[in-house]
Structure 1
Amino acid sequence: MLSKVSALRARLNGPALLALARSEKVRNTLLYLGASAFGAALSMLTIPLFSRYLSRADFGVVGYVTSINAFLAPFFTLSVNSWYIREYYREPDQTRRDALLSTIVAYTLAWGVGLTLMLAGVGALVFRAAEIRVAFAPFMLTALAGNLGLGVFAYATLQYRIQQRAGAFAALTIAQALLQNLLGLWLVIQFRQGPEGRLAGTAAGTLLAGAVALVVLWPRLRWRFDAAVLRPALRFSVPLIPVALIALLFDTLDRVFLERLRFPLDQIGLYNVAMQYGGIINILALSIYRTYEPTYFKLAADGAYGRMNRSFIAIIGLFAGTALVLIGLAGFVIDVLTHGKFGPSVHLSRVLLVGFFLKAVYQLGGVLLVTTGRTKQLLWNSLIGLALYAAASYYFLVWLGVEGAAWAKLVPVAAMLVLAVTQSGQARHFRAMLFAATLATAVLTLAVLAFGAATP
């Protein structure tokens, strides 16, 4: 009798527990999405205020410096956080886990100070030798200073992800976005600091958020530096840097080409506003991956590639639907946010939305390669895609002007997606995914062409 009662309870509790797990994933996804979207939304909503005090050329300066600084960011952590995640789950003893964390936090802080000093000295010489029109000091130097807060902030939010504390993650991430934007507004509006004030506000906000993150981590830090821990961490993590840098180049190389081909700074400013709007897709993709990436590792381990394919198709539909809505709203949103000063950014943002959609889908292909253990193929695909992107960027910029930088993203990312699926060893399971991605890209492209180009 008791066994029958236990079996009945198990049947009743099984679906309930499954529903609870799903609801927690939905909740975490929404929190990750909300935290990521908050920063982007705040940046978009503050554009009307900044545009009253900053010219198109000023926006161009900020966009160029921000792009270069984003490229440098992986060097400040050397991707050691990836190694820490692996070791965290392999090491059951909490004291040992804290020792690992203490070593890499101490290393990150010391390395960040040394790297900043080195870049401050070398960067000025590079900018002068390359005849870059944007001054290294104060613009680039100000942005570099803020990077000192990146590493410790990353480890604090990483702890929240490991502990599945999405609410705490969201609170710390939102606090960082508020500090960066509000301090920037204060310096630009109150003190008329121009683009330097915008960059200084971001840097100061990053440093303050890093200080808060250090307070969060402090109870677990022992401030012991163990070289025996650092050596395997670097051996594991340093090879991941090229992949991270190549991914960043896909977001920054367009601005580099625009500057080196001497496009006017006001056109670069138009492009930068379009990038902010189009990048909303990236935020959605990031929240999805933060929530479901562990699930994909489990599906791969179980050989459930059919389920993974169906999940990918559903996510592609979500990305495509969001992109289509954003394409339709682009004219209204950008016109309102910029007081009609950035009209040409509307068409650019629509084209970029197609590129960002494809990039988000390719990240699914990257997940597929990693879960099947084909990380070398991921690196080679990234290198091939980067070469194609560089060639396409130059050709399209000469052919179409600043709009060409947006269209150039499509060809290499599409090629990388096909390569990722074919090299995964499970291509037969993901043909439907490729078809869904192709169909969605065609629909989005037709929507962009239907709206037509805004007159610069």
Structure 2
Amino acid sequence: MSIAKKLVGQTAAYGLSSIIGRVLNYLLVPVYTKAFLPEAYGVVTYLYSFVALFNVLYTYGMETAFFRFANKPGTDQRELYNKVLSLIGSSSLIFTAILLLASGPIANFIGFPERQEYIVWLAIVLAIDAIATIPFAWLRLQNKAVKFASIKLINIVLTVGANMFFLVFCRQVYNGDYLPELRPWVTSIYNPDFGVGYIFLINLVANALQLPLLWKELSIFRFRLDVDQLKPMLRYAYPLLFMGLAGMVNEVIDRILLEYHLPDNFYPNMSNMAAVGIYGACYKLSIFMSLAIQAFRYAAEPFFFSQANDKNSPQAFAQIMKWFVISCAFIFLFVSAFRDEIASVFIDESYHSGLVVVPILLLANLFLGVYYNLSVWFKLTDRTQFGTWISVGGAVVTIMLNLLLIPVLGYVGSAWATLCCYFAMAAVSYFLGQRYYPIPYPVRSIIGYIVLAVVLLLGVFYVPVQQVWLNYLIGLVVCALFLVIVAARERLLFFNK
């Protein structure tokens, strides 16, 4: 179908920045895991979990609301842009001012009283990111994918480059690994005691440099703060706020609960914060699934809204879902089958004890992607309150299962809690969606491909093989077998069946 193919093209365009950017950013994982012990990296994982939660609070669903209202007939998109950016900009500055004033007590509360500057830097990052969200949304609305991707990539390149400079080049010169003649100069700009502070400060500087790159979008902005006129958008957005907040709880609360709820000495010779660091590093191996989902989401949200009135859209949405699941099932199978080999490249060996969570988290993210696909029904019917309740229910499942499983299974329990949460959310959303906005999803095919990938993976894990090369061969064979079965089943008619 033509509109489905159009989505593929948009996904590729917007996904370029997401995929290349996150791959480049992923190159920092071996840098961090080699530069810092698991306990120090746990601090990064822990604090960025809070940042993820606050990111949702700072934008409170207005990005999606902006797309929804900008596509309504007769809307002055420029004026709407001015009003939304005025609101987000004002609220972001207020929120950040509060965090700056309270940075000392916050640092004490979360257990880092000597690192108040981390809170200050991250509070400023939150404001910058929230303000930049609307100009980026404007670029997406105007189909300026190249500029969108370029700015995102520049940000990532700056971040990766600065981290490589300080945490690899400067650290190794300082330690005397090479270029001893440069050590006096490096000593003047690099302090090993600054530790993970480099990660947070580099994030702040790189994100701030996005604003000059968005100058054209910011220069057309005129302050138009009119809360009364924005009330319909706020009514549409507030359920999305709770939905996003609950969704972020599902995504990051396990890191926070691991620190507080993991029994002492659960892992021999490892602190709770070190366990958080190992879990966070191994979670990064699910990036390949996250890439597919993020690329899809960038294009899908404006695409679904623009196709809402097309009579053929339900059939197109159904086909999109099927091929999305096929793609994600293959990613799940391939990454899980070669997790040890991938980990040996990207994660220091001191973190490998957590690799058992990788297949569980990959499958969990697959169901999260399914849920994002299914969420089209309540967004197009303006029943966003259902999304809120589904996400809140998922958050309850996540918290309860983490509390139950962490004392018994450690971070493996957190991984299973994540899988159960996303599966439950997808299932509930499907059954509600069929009632309010029926879409003829090929459910049997979708379930069949997921089960096929799981069964093939179990074959890889449980076939007793001693030779390394034979393990590689079996992994390649099962991945190829999956593709052959898909090709035979679909008869190679991509989006045309």
For Structure 1 versus Structure 2, the TM-score category normalised by the shorter chain is 0.7 to 0.9
Q: CA deviation at 1:277?
A: 1.7
Q: CA deviation at 1:232?
A: 4.1
2:374 is equivalent to residue 394 of structure 1: no
Q: CA deviation at 1:301?
A: 5.5
* Of 61-70 and 96-105, the range deviating more from structure 2: 96-105
* Of 35-44 and 246-255, the range deviating more from structure 2: 35-44
2:367 is equivalent to residue 358 of structure 1: yes
| Matched residue, 1:199 | 200
Partners of 2:222 and 2:19 in 1: CA distance: 35
Q: CA deviation at 1:92?
A: 4.6
2:67 is equivalent to residue 58 of structure 1: no
Q: CA deviation at 1:446?
A: 6.6
| Matched residue, 1:177 | 156
Which structure 1 residue ranges, 5 or more long, are not aligned? 1-17
Partners of 1:423 and 1:434 in 2: CA distance: 18
Number of aligned residue pairs: give it: 430
Q: CA deviation at 1:165?
A: 1.9
Does the CA contact (< 8 Å) of 2:321 and 2:441 recur in 1? no
| Matched residue, 1:104 | 84
* Of 177-186 and 400-409, the range deviating more from structure 2: 177-186
- CA displacement 1:157-208 (0-9 Å, x = unmatched): 2122112122111111111222233333444453233111111111221121
Partners of 1:226 and 1:428 in 2: CA distance: 37
| Matched residue, 1:324 | 333
Partners of 2:93 and 2:429 in 1: CA distance: 37
Query: Which has a greater percent of helix?
Result: 1
* Of 238-247 and 427-436, the range deviating more from structure 2: 427-436
| Matched residue, 1:40 | 22
Residue type of the alignment partner of 1:407: W
2:31 is equivalent to residue 49 of structure 1: yes
- CA displacement 1:125-159 (0-9 Å, x = unmatched): 35534x63686613233222211211232122212
* Of 215-224 and 428-437, the range deviating more from structure 2: 428-437
Q: CA deviation at 1:386?
A: 1.3
Q: CA deviation at 1:372?
A: 4.1
Counterparts in 2 of 1:390 and 1:224: CA distance versus 1, 3 Å: closer
Counterparts in 2 of 1:124 and 1:442: CA distance versus 1, 3 Å: farther
| Matched residue, 1:116 | 96
* Of 341-350 and 165-174, the range deviating more from structure 2: 341-350
Does the CA contact (< 8 Å) of 1:179 and 1:209 recur in 2? no
Q: CA deviation at 1:306?
A: 4.3
| Matched residue, 1:12 | none
Which gives a bigger RCO, structure 1 or 2 (Cα 8 Å, sep 6+)? Answer: 2
Partners of 2:97 and 2:28 in 1: CA distance: 32
Partners of 1:430 and 1:319 in 2: CA distance: 20
| Matched residue, 1:268 | 276
Partners of 2:201 and 2:46 in 1: CA distance: 15
Identify the match of residue 423 of structure 1 among 425, 432, 455: 432
Does the CA contact (< 8 Å) of 1:362 and 1:413 recur in 2? yes
2:66 is equivalent to residue 84 of structure 1: yes
Counterparts in 2 of 1:166 and 1:304: CA distance versus 1, 3 Å: closer
Does the CA contact (< 8 Å) of 2:279 and 2:354 recur in 1? yes
Identify the match of residue 444 of structure 1 among 454, 462, 465: 454
Does the CA contact (< 8 Å) of 2:247 and 2:394 recur in 1? no
Q: CA deviation at 1:341?
A: 3.2
Q: CA deviation at 1:265?
A: 1.7
Does the CA contact (< 8 Å) of 1:183 and 1:202 recur in 2? no
Q: Secondary structure at the match of 2:442?
A: helix
* Of 54-63 and 259-268, the range deviating more from structure 2: 259-268
| Matched residue, 1:252 | 252
| Matched residue, 1:433 | 443
Residue type of the alignment partner of 1:85: F
- CA displacement 1:373-431 (0-9 Å, x = unmatched): 43222221112121111111122212211211111112222222121111123497556
Partners of 2:459 and 2:44 in 1: CA distance: 30
Q: CA deviation at 1:303?
A: 6.7
| Matched residue, 1:404 | 413
Q: CA deviation at 1:288?
A: 1.8
- Normalising by structure 1, we get a TM-score of 0.84
| Matched residue, 2:265 | none
Residue type of the alignment partner of 1:200: L
Q: CA deviation at 1:307?
A: 4.2
Q: CA deviation at 1:24?
A: 5.5
Does the CA contact (< 8 Å) of 2:88 and 2:130 recur in 1? yes
Counterparts in 2 of 1:431 and 1:97: CA distance versus 1, 3 Å: closer
| Matched residue, 1:281 | 289
2:36 is equivalent to residue 28 of structure 1: no
Matches within 5 A, 1:302-317: 302=311, 305-317=314-326
Q: Secondary structure at the match of 2:350?
A: coil
2:131 is equivalent to residue 152 of structure 1: yes
Counterparts in 2 of 1:217 and 1:91: CA distance versus 1, 3 Å: farther
Q: CA deviation at 1:34?
A: 1.9
Q: Secondary structure at the match of 1:343?
A: helix
Partners of 1:407 and 1:442 in 2: CA distance: 20
Q: Secondary structure at the match of 2:211?
A: helix
Counterparts in 2 of 1:334 and 1:395: CA distance versus 1, 3 Å: same
- CA displacement 1:47-72 (0-9 Å, x = unmatched): 33333322211211111111110100
- CA displacement 1:47-104 (0-9 Å, x = unmatched): 33333322211211111111110100122222222332233233657xx433332333
Counterparts in 2 of 1:104 and 1:52: CA distance versus 1, 3 Å: same
Does the CA contact (< 8 Å) of 1:335 and 1:342 recur in 2? no
Which structure 2 residue ranges, 5 or more long, are not aligned? 171-189, 263-270, 463-497
Counterparts in 2 of 1:444 and 1:135: CA distance versus 1, 3 Å: farther
Partners of 1:448 and 1:140 in 2: CA distance: 44
Q: CA deviation at 1:254?
A: 0.5
Partners of 1:429 and 1:27 in 2: CA distance: 22
- CA displacement 1:10-52 (0-9 Å, x = unmatched): xxxxxxxx87x77664443222222111222112212333333
Does the CA contact (< 8 Å) of 2:258 and 2:411 recur in 1? yes
Partners of 2:377 and 2:227 in 1: CA distance: 34
Partners of 1:134 and 1:256 in 2: CA distance: 17
Does the CA contact (< 8 Å) of 1:69 and 1:143 recur in 2? yes
Does the CA contact (< 8 Å) of 2:82 and 2:221 recur in 1? yes
Does the CA contact (< 8 Å) of 1:79 and 1:237 recur in 2? yes
Q: Secondary structure at the match of 2:209?
A: helix
Q: Secondary structure at the match of 1:341?
A: helix
Instruction: Give the root-mean-square deviation of aligned CA atoms.
Output: 2.9
